[in-house]
Structure 1
């Protein structure tokens, strides 16, 4: 076992060690094997001899030796020449003042040849420094599934000839889009776990915020990246109030005095700086919605007409079932639950087993004092694998 400080060092340095090995032109899977062996060696030596004064240098040196040994022992694996020529175009790495290798690793993990599921798993391993067990726990999949996703991702990168190298400027927008999507998926998974006895996985949310912070430093004038970071900070600012003794606390009942005011202020500033820079994208709009909620002094003071307008804008930019649901809820607050129920009808027909849609309908029926509310709450509870959500919805059914 290791102490928290050592684990923090490992997770912080893993992307840099992987990057150092990747510059040799070696496949990511081989580099990752060498790094894992090095971490095992560190787990034995560091507690006994103390943490090196330069942990990154120690890890790179030992991992390099392990990689060379592995290459020598495998005669079937051809040697790749060390890449020495620098790309003179305006590259990703040139956008980073301190050349953060984790960003290059992030772009590699979001290679267009990978599926989203594989990219998420590989990002958590190569950039987040999580173990296969931690990835499986965070994504709520069996450990074997997480291992397969990571292994499949590395094999796909090998087949695609992907290398640790600068991304051409013309490819950067598409890559950034994929990177943001993966980071958002990691954060949303961690902030609202779809199953199990807990609601939030701090490992996933903290990693998503940490990596997005690095991404924002690399492209500080990219408005969508700023919007994504603002969105994460706003949601995370109220994390401590979302659960009380294992019980879900709805937004209307959360203690707003306990929200992280400094984090909210920073997120709002990020958003204010990003919005005038160009086309407003979905992450900026989602952050704007979260900011309206976060800056209301009380739930009753929420500017629901503004939220409804933002959702309507979001529907034109990035339509989805989640956005339709949010718009219907906002409409019910502005025009009344009858209007909200009418807006929910096509979504409920299209997604008859979506517990969030059914739960929203139940809340609107409850507001109207309709007897069907209890049935809807129980139906929603039966369709979710989240124990806190089940408990909350069943309690609501008993009171409806």
Structure 2
């Protein structure tokens, strides 16, 4: 595959898949059609040139390949001939493809599917994550994740779940699961679960685009909150890695690199959402991000306000990960000993034992307190759990900087 085609695959394959699922009405057939279309592209484009509209070309080619596949299989399953004829007779237009991924998310998040299946299916189909990567994110086995995805596809097919954005009357009851999954997409882009790069800009931008589409449909406070949260996090992305690709922590980031236009938009959305007094967890997380965004430095950050917001957030959405984030804020306000005590209490409950950021935070607090051996053990544990190359390099650098008390 040439570099140009690789770029197109990375930027367009999920959009092409979403449209093929709409056109063909079947997940597995669409996935096969997508791969066949790119196989043809690899053969033809180097000689013929890349078409003016690669996405439309790929959808059209995939559609014809799917019809051909059904006709070949119709020799053994006659009903497939009728399906092939129906698909060939149907008209499709590339004018409405921008909404196909939003339609796909609502399909993947249909209430007929279990919540864990909704998330796994969306991460697989929208983000193109492998079952191994999804399993790592959910602390499950690849076999378990694969079974969830297969069952979810079967349920969509058997229940004839429609491939569409729900009506305005149905939107509110469907909203929570869609917000959760859009944020999962964003998080995978903001901090990739594995690989050589810390971030995947294609996923963060896609999640933001979907958030904007959703806000047009339903401008509810939590939709505003999620969009604000994504914008404020995305504003920091240019400063999160050095020129050489090394991880840069929040307190060491060059805030001059932060995107002020995204910060302005995000803070305005936070203010708008909070004035409704109907806000929830996404608005609260966005408010925390806004406090960070408005501070000229880590030292000037209003950590007491952030801790207070985390207290409210924990009452609204109890979570050991939120407790961990609060512990980091407490450490910034009261010192590393206070943060360490909170992290240890989380780990002693048996929670977050397999979460590398918990051990990384513990290592950082121990390092600041001069507890070198404990810091080393925590960093080594975090290193054994992370699958991301920049985080591995950061932890290895922290370990190399530690000096034994005996030295």
Instruction: Choose which of 374, 399, 403 in structure 2 pairs with 1:398.
Output: 403
CA contact under 8 A between 1:377 and 1:393: conserved in structure 2?
A: no
Instruction: Choose which of 9, 18, 23 in structure 1 pairs with 2:21.
Output: 18
Q: Who is 2:377 aligned against?
A: 379
| 1:169/1:343 CA distance change after superposition, 3 Å | same
Instruction: Choose which of 227, 238, 260 in structure 2 pairs with 1:229.
Output: 227
What SS is found at the alignment partner of 2:110? coil
Q: Who is 1:326 aligned against?
A: 325
What is the RMSD computed on CA atoms of the aligned residues? 3.7
Using the TM superposition, give the Cα deviation of residue 263 of structure 1 relative to its aligned residue in structure 2, in angstroms. Answer: 2.0
Using the TM superposition, give the Cα deviation of residue 178 of structure 1 relative to its aligned residue in structure 2, in angstroms. Answer: 1.3
Structure 1 unaligned regions, length at least 5:
84-96
Q: Give the distance between the partners of 1:213 and 1:396, measured in 2 at CA.
A: 44
| 1:223/1:330 CA distance change after superposition, 3 Å | same
Q: Who is 1:89 aligned against?
A: none
CA contact under 8 A between 1:187 and 1:205: conserved in structure 2?
A: yes
Q: Give the distance between the partners of 1:195 and 1:169, measured in 2 at CA.
A: 37
Q: Give the distance between the partners of 2:52 and 2:119, measured in 1 at CA.
A: 32
1:246-268 CA deviation, whole Å, 9 max, x = no partner? 54322221111122222222222
Using the TM superposition, give the Cα deviation of residue 332 of structure 1 relative to its aligned residue in structure 2, in angstroms. Answer: 3.1
| 1:257/1:395 CA distance change after superposition, 3 Å | farther
CA contact under 8 A between 1:29 and 1:155: conserved in structure 2?
A: no
Q: Give the distance between the partners of 1:52 and 1:197, measured in 2 at CA.
A: 31
Q: Who is 2:90 aligned against?
A: none
Relative contact order, higher structure (CA 8 A, sep 6+):
1
Using the TM superposition, give the Cα deviation of residue 399 of structure 1 relative to its aligned residue in structure 2, in angstroms. Answer: 8.1
1:1-400 to structure 2, matched below 5 A, reads 1-2=1-2, 3=4, 6-7=8-9, 8-22=11-25, 27-53=26-52, 55=54, 57-72=56-71, 73-74=73-74, 75-77=77-79, 79=82, 100-114=99-113, 118-124=117-123, 126-128=125-127, 130=128, 150-167=149-166, 169=168, 171-194=170-193, 198-219=197-218, 221-244=219-242, 245-351=244-350, 353=353, 354-367=355-368, 369=369, 371=370, 373-384=371-382, 385-386=385-386, 387-395=392-400, 397-398=402-403
Q: Give the distance between the partners of 1:248 and 1:176, measured in 2 at CA.
A: 34
Using the TM superposition, give the Cα deviation of residue 236 of structure 1 relative to its aligned residue in structure 2, in angstroms. Answer: 2.3
Using the TM superposition, give the Cα deviation of residue 322 of structure 1 relative to its aligned residue in structure 2, in angstroms. Answer: 1.3
1:277-325 CA deviation, whole Å, 9 max, x = no partner? 3521111111111111121111111011111111011011111011112
CA contact under 8 A between 2:215 and 2:224: conserved in structure 1?
A: yes
Q: Give the distance between the partners of 1:351 and 1:246, measured in 2 at CA.
A: 34
| 1:15/1:318 CA distance change after superposition, 3 Å | same
Q: Give the distance between the partners of 1:206 and 1:148, measured in 2 at CA.
A: 29
Report the TM-score when normalising by structure 2. Answer: 0.77
Q: Give the distance between the partners of 2:273 and 2:256, measured in 1 at CA.
A: 27
Q: Give the distance between the partners of 1:99 and 1:335, measured in 2 at CA.
A: 48
Using the TM superposition, give the Cα deviation of residue 193 of structure 1 relative to its aligned residue in structure 2, in angstroms. Answer: 3.9
CA contact under 8 A between 1:34 and 1:66: conserved in structure 2?
A: yes
Q: Who is 1:94 aligned against?
A: none
- 281-290 or 242-251: which moved more? 242-251
Q: Give the distance between the partners of 1:192 and 1:56, measured in 2 at CA.
A: 27
Using the TM superposition, give the Cα deviation of residue 148 of structure 1 relative to its aligned residue in structure 2, in angstroms. Answer: 6.4
Report the TM-score when normalising by structure 1. Answer: 0.78
Using the TM superposition, give the Cα deviation of residue 138 of structure 1 relative to its aligned residue in structure 2, in angstroms. Answer: 8.2
What SS is found at the alignment partner of 1:398? coil
Using the TM superposition, give the Cα deviation of residue 124 of structure 1 relative to its aligned residue in structure 2, in angstroms. Answer: 4.7
Q: Give the distance between the partners of 1:55 and 1:249, measured in 2 at CA.
A: 37
Using the TM superposition, give the Cα deviation of residue 276 of structure 1 relative to its aligned residue in structure 2, in angstroms. Answer: 2.3
| 1:325/1:153 CA distance change after superposition, 3 Å | same
Aligned length: 376
